[in-house]
A and B are shown apart, each in its own frame.
Chain A
Amino acid sequence: MKKLFLLMFTLILTFGLVGCKPEEEDPEEEDPNVELDLDLSSDFLDLCTDRKVYLTTLGQSDIDTVINIIEAASEAIPVNEINSGSEAVVDAVSRKNDLVASEVAKDGDKLPVVLLVTGSSGKGLGAAGTNWEAEKARGEAFALAADSNQMILIVLHVGGEARRGTTTDPILDAVCPSARLMLVVEGGNFDKYFTNSTNEYNVPLHLYSRQAKMVSAFKTLFNIE
């Protein structure tokens, strides 16, 4: 009996000690964009000049903020409201909150650029009479068009952690793989979603400490001194 108790005690102690072994931490993935507020490389210089540039929101939020960033980069680039069927203008940013891929027109050989402002707002979606599923469907159409070389997509996320979650992430999943560039305010990358995307899809990512720091990116895109 004594031997049995001793055996059981030894077994319990052994399993107990194994259970106490600290979990090994996953080695951190290499993050190529940890440095914030970097200037865009010369590859992106002029990307938005002499082309039709469209601005829309997937999630009905933060588009006014992006307009402020563009205006801060240069008041020489006007942001015009466009209505269905009207032509976008070269050397202007044509804004439409519910823009669909089929409205984006080519201008000769030059591919148009679509700035996609991501980040869903429940209040914004409700006010616009839409929902995140419909926004995702719009996003998928843009992605399909970009994949078939009909347009260039730039994904923007400026609303921080509050603009991430179940109504935003599926939209990001749809558009990020097809983007030419992702410009993100770092609060939105709290879970490294965008750094993981850049590794997985090989899409360049630039992170900014705050919205105002993103102004430099638009200066490069529009080649503004």
Chain B
Amino acid sequence: MKLTKKTNILISTLLLVMTAVLTIISGLDFKKFADYETEFVLRENIITRVEKFSKYSPKLEKTVGDSDIYIIEGEEPGPSVLIIGGTHPNEPSSQLTATLLLENIIVAKGTVYIITEANKSAFTHSQPQEASSMYYHIATMNGQRTFKFGSRATNNTEQWPNPDIYVHRTSGQKLSNIDTRNLNRAYPGCEDGTYTEKVAYAITQCIIQNNIDVTIDLHEASPEYLTINAIVAHQRATSVAAKAAFKMDMEGVLIAVEVSPTNLHGLSHRELGDFTDTLAFLCETSNASQGKIRGKFTEDLIITGEDKFYQKASELGVLYAAPVHLNERVARHVLSILSILNAYNDIYGSNERGKFIVNDIPTYENIINNGIGYYLLDSLL
């Protein structure tokens, strides 16, 4: 059938209008997602103060990257620890662990710094072509909390285009171009660098200016990735990491210790250890929702880690660690943090700054038995 010119124009116009409508609808959805602010409940009289990244990296002021640093000081001065959550927003146990600590712990001696959204721009979009759920929900005692499942990388709206090859600034190491927007390839960062480097610079400066003794960067990895259920430690921190892992082993929780490779740059456990005096650690748990062999992406996959393809892969023994429920992943991170602090106390506790005394850290068993929601505060209260 031959169409007339008029009919052709009509069909083309109709298709263009339909495309525009679909673009606007999906665009509004993404705008809503980008604008959504995750709530963190700050306990009065417990949170000593809140600082902004821009205090340490001034050019982040009035940008989406000006994240909060929550500071809980003990009654007694002592050593200090920085917990970094939300470096990669597609690794949810990272942010949830930081949130759980923010809303529960009482510090008697020492200072705890907590970041819940290390790369806030990466929380404003999701990974292209992954069809991931934008949000996930955790039932609390009296309601539910909503968290965002974002991307591994900074949003293109903050940093674009990617170079053909990403050259890490301080080492000159060549990396994949996508890593130019990866916070955990940007350390120690740069005051005048890209958006991602400015964020990394803020964290590095926070550690230097506050003389932070211990830094723990929380992550997850896909079950088919080698470094999983592991603590990666800078070479100055390996004795603390080994002691922490052994303490976890005594509790029946197995975790590997890996020494940070000296020739892989930009990562927190390498650069924060090299460019500051902190003992740098990075913890990994097993997350099916960021893996490549999963089936359909659902909110349930984020929470339970259950997926028939991963189940099959696990039965075939081709995974480094079977995916587990979010409760267990958070419980692992919390136990890792507690074990690192205890190991630090054993090794460095007799130094001038003394030992950490941090109370009300939920136990591994209790987090698994009660669920994370039991420990998250209801924002309405």
User: Interface residues, chain B, CB within 8 Å of chain A?
Assistant: 226, 235, 238-239, 241-243, 245-246, 249-250, 252, 254, 256-263
Contact = CB atoms under 8 A, between A and B. Distances in A.
Given A212-B249, A212-B250, A68 B262 contact: no
B260 A65 contact: no
Given A210-B252, A210-B254, A65 B259 contact: no
Nearest to A161: B320
A150 interface: no
A64 interface: yes
Contact of A64 (B226, B243, B249, B260): B243
B243 A123 contact: no
Given A64-B242, A68-B242, A210-B254, A124 B249 contact: no
A104 B256 CA distance: 31
A189 to B, nearest CB: 15
9 contacts: A64-B238, A64-B239, A65-B242, A65-B245, A68-B246, A69-B246, A123-B258, A126-B261, A126-B263
A72 B243 CA distance: 10
B235 A160 contact: no
A123 B261 contact: yes
A160 B249 contact: no
A198 interface: no
Given A64-B239, A210-B254, A127 B246 contact: no
A190 to B, nearest CB: 9
Contact of B235 (A65, A72, A127, A210): A127
A20 interface: no
Given A72-B250, A210-B249, A210-B252, A65 B257 contact: yes
A67 interface: yes
Contact of B259 (A67, A69, A123, A212): A123
Contacts of B254: 210
Contacts of B261: 123, 126
Contacts of B252: 210
Interface string A44-81: 00000000000000000110110111001000000000
Given A64-B238, A64-B242, A127-B235, A211 B249 contact: yes
Contacts of B239: 64
Interface of A: 61-62, 64-65, 67-69, 72, 121, 123-124, 126-127, 159-160, 162, 210-212
B259 A68 contact: no
Contacts of B246: 65, 68-69, 72, 211-212
Closest 4 CB pairs of A and B: A64-B242, A68-B246, A212-B250, A211-B249
B51 to A, nearest CB: 34
Nearest to A214: B249
Contacts of A68: 242-243, 246
B259 A127 contact: yes
Contacts of A212: 246, 249-250
B262 A126 contact: yes
Nearest to B230: A162
B170 to A, nearest CB: 19
Nearest to B261: A123
B68 to A, nearest CB: 34
Contacts of A61: 259
A154 to B, nearest CB: 19
Nearest to A187: B254
A67 B242 contact: yes
A184 to B, nearest CB: 15
Given A72-B250, A210-B252, A212-B249, A124 B242 contact: no
Nearest to B250: A212
Contacts of A72: 246, 250
A127 B262 contact: yes
Nearest to A63: B242
B260 A123 contact: yes
A61 B263 CA distance: 18
